[in-house]
Amino acid sequence: MAHPQIAAFARLANGGQAPLRTVYGQGSKLSRTMHDIRYDEMHDEFFVVNPFAEAILTFRGGTSGQESPIRIIQGPHVKIGGNRLDVDPIHDEIFVPDGRRIRVYPRTANGDVAPIRIIEGPDTLLTRAESLSVDPINNILVVGFNKGEQDRENGALLIFNRTDSGNVKPRAIIRGPKSGIIRINQMAVYPPKKLIVATMPGLVDQMEPPDAFLGIWTYDDNGDVPPKWKIPIGSKTTLRKPFGVVLNPKNKEVILSDMRLNSVLTFAVPEIF
């Protein structure tokens, strides 16, 4: 049986190297289903959603072993709902997607704390929002909208203002056959060049989707726009079902996790930085 844990590896690790440290055990409050983890370099903290406990867990950056979170947002007023998140370290906010809404919490909150803003309503087009990424520099929020079982249209990227609240329309929508967007699992943004970087792992029930890839768009894209750059699956990249993504601008790298390979792959992509 696999036990819930977070493993930290050296950036240059390769092959079957052991992690430098792991976070695990009852004290960590981690659960089996963790679909997102975000690191706040400014405050040296990382954040995880525990969907079973409907809680946001905040750990110090150097957490190891069975160390407990330094803060936990949890309680009847919280209503987490989703299992992914992103953090804005400049404006001290945490964003959590939950299907039909986006909830925003204070970054330093602890305990039973209600959202400070909620994006919700028919004009938002939010029905299956499962992932997001926030740009605190350009004040942009990008939300991943996924294809439903009965939908004729595939998924989309919805672009909002960071401070939006209530029943607001997206400022832009990237969707259509040229975009290739079906389902978005995790995203990252690159504020200096206003880029959206998103993993497309294909439909949930497909073990190795033929149309999976990593795509990169810009904030100015709108409509049926193909990605500006693309890392496809296949023998050349060895990708099979890209799931998570993080950017390493300092070393001009894109780091991907692959669900089928059960591995982490690092690509040198200097042209996007």
Contact 229, 216 (CB under 8 A): yes
Residue 2 has pLDDT above 70, yes or no: no
Residue 205 has pLDDT above 80, yes or no: no
Pick from 206, 209, 196: nearest CA to 247 = 196
Task: Give the β-pairing of 253-258 and 242-248.
Answer: antiparallel
Instruction: Read off the tokens for 198.
Output: 């998103």
pLDDT score of 209 = 86
Contact 89, 108 (CB under 8 A): no
Q: Report the alpha-carbon distance of residue 60 to residue 191 in Å, rounded.
A: 25
Q: 17-236: which CATH architecture? A: 6 Propeller (2.120)
More confident site: 210 or 44 = 44
* Count of CB atoms situated within 10 Å of the CB of 234: 12
Contact 78, 38 (CB under 8 A): no
What mean pLDDT is predicted for residues 202-228? 91
Task: Give how far the C-alpha of residue 228 lies from the chain's centroid of Cα atoms, to the nearest Å.
Answer: 20
* Count of CB atoms situated within 10 Å of the CB of 106: 15
pLDDT score of 62 = 96
Q: Report the alpha-carbon distance of residue 229 to residue 248 in Å, rounded.
A: 16
What mean pLDDT is predicted for residues 257-262? 92
Which 8-state DSSP code applies to residue 271?
Answer: G
Main-chain dihedrals φ then ψ at residue 163, nearest 5 degrees: -90, 5
pLDDT band at 150 (very low <50, low <70, confident <90, very high): low
pLDDT score of 154 = 80
Q: Catalogue the E-assigned strands of 156-249.
A: 156-161, 172-174, 187-190, 195-200, 213-218, 229-232, 242-248
pLDDT score of 19 = 93
Beta bridge partners of 213: 200, 232
pLDDT score of 151 = 58
| Range with lowest mean pLDDT among 37-46, 139-148, 149-158, 244-253 | 149-158
Which 8-state DSSP code applies to residue 111?
Answer: B
Residue 272 has pLDDT above 60, yes or no: yes
pLDDT band at 3 (very low <50, low <70, confident <90, very high): confident
Which 8-state DSSP code applies to residue 233?
Answer: -
The domain locations on the chain are 17-236
Pick from 256, 238, 152, 140: nearest CA to 198 = 256
Which 8-state DSSP code applies to residue 144?
Answer: E
* Count of CB atoms situated within 10 Å of the CB of 184: 25
pLDDT band at 149 (very low <50, low <70, confident <90, very high): low
Pick from 163, 125, 144, 165: nearest CA to 83 = 144
Q: Above pLDDT 90, what percent of the chain? A: 82
Instruction: Read off the pLDDT of residues 223-235 as tens digits, 9 standing for 90 and up.
Output: 999 999 999 999 9
pLDDT band at 127 (very low <50, low <70, confident <90, very high): confident
DSSP helix/strand/coil, 265: strand
pLDDT score of 153 = 65
Residue 252 has pLDDT above 80, yes or no: yes
pLDDT score of 198 = 97
Instruction: Read off the pLDDT of residues 68-108 as tens digits, 9 standing for 90 and up.
Output: 999 999 999 998 888 899 999 999 999 999 989 999 999 99
pLDDT score of 162 = 98
